[in-house]
Chain A
Amino acid sequence: MITTVSLKDVLLDSTKEVFETMVFMAVEESLQDGTSLDAPALLATITFKGRLEGCLGICCGQTCASAVAASMLGMASGEELGANDVSDAIGEIANMLLGAVKSRIQNEVGNIEVSIPSVVEGRELRSSLGEGSSQVRIRVSIEEEHIAELSLLYREGCNH
């Protein structure tokens, strides 16, 4: 079974890969664990099942989400994005993050099936998988300006 320590590295490496290649923004792990995310926030989640099952999430404030979406779409400053564009972009980041995580762990856990991402907006957002699950949560600094929280909740699946 994968260890929590290695999954933290996997999640961080995957995040850096996605943001560097698809979003064109630099990401580093943030040590500001105590600060709350800007509200209202967006939470994009995507679930997976197989020998390992669970949910990957990315949560950030609206300002951060808009900046990420604008960079991802190569928009010039001043151009405005609609709420649907921002939501779609954050959902797609969750999708690519799980894809990157999956490619790093599939030799150990085998293939996992992935859902379509979903995005919600609100305050104090957190994903949960219930009892018997493990979790990795990390905060990242994006371009040293924005904070986002990444979560990977998981447990052994029925197919193990």
Chain B
Amino acid sequence: MGKSLMIVDDSATMRKIIMRTVRMSGLEFERTEEAGSGVEALEKLKAGPIDVVLCDINMPEMNGTEMVKQARQLPNCSGTKIIMVSTESAQELIDRVIADGADGYITKPFTLEKFQEKLAPLLN
């Protein structure tokens, strides 16, 4: 069965760029969804399991670090791989969000190769 992907970012532009980068990386998802905030992402995660989530950190309403913490409490999310995609590059923050349940971290600006490196292992 094909994998599903959700992109979480308050910027519609960035959601489109990430979607395009995923496609250009040669990574294939059967179903893709978008969410403009951590709140919207949690609602979608409650509605059904999603295999991979690419999530921004600095967002209004609910930021990405809080979204990860709450997502990890959901029964639907036990197998979900969550990769943070953010301009934040402080190692302390990266360590903290990984400890809170994220599976990986990509800093913006990013390259196609970085997406392949982080995402390809999750699809095998």
Are A and B a genuine interacting pair, yes or no? yes
A residues near B88, Cβ cutoff 8 Å? 99, 102, 114
**Is B32 an interface residue, CB under 8 A from the partner?**
no
Measured CA separation A96–B17 after assembly (Å): 13
Interface of A is mostly: helix
Contact at A88–B90, with CB atoms within 8 Å?
no
**Is B124 an interface residue, CB under 8 A from the partner?**
no
**Is A98 an interface residue, CB under 8 A from the partner?**
yes
Beta-carbon nearest neighbor of B11 in chain A: A92
Contact at A98–B16, with CB atoms within 8 Å?
no
Measured CA separation A59–B107 after assembly (Å): 24
Contact at B10–A106, with CB atoms within 8 Å?
no
Interface of B is mostly: loop
B residues near A100, Cβ cutoff 8 Å? 87, 109
Partner of B93, one of A73, A89, A96, A111: A111
Contact at B17–A99, with CB atoms within 8 Å?
no
A residues near B73, Cβ cutoff 8 Å? none
**Is A17 an interface residue, CB under 8 A from the partner?**
yes
Q: Given A17-B109, A22-B109, A99-B107, is A114 in contact with B58 using a C-beta cutoff of 8 Å?
A: yes
A residues near B58, Cβ cutoff 8 Å? 95, 114, 116
Measured CA separation A16–B77 after assembly (Å): 38
Beta-carbon nearest neighbor of A87 in chain B: B13
Which residues of A73-106 are within 8 A (CB) of B?
A: 73-74, 84-85, 88-89, 91-92, 95-96, 98-100, 102-103, 106
Contact at A116–B10, with CB atoms within 8 Å?
yes
Contact at B60–A103, with CB atoms within 8 Å?
no
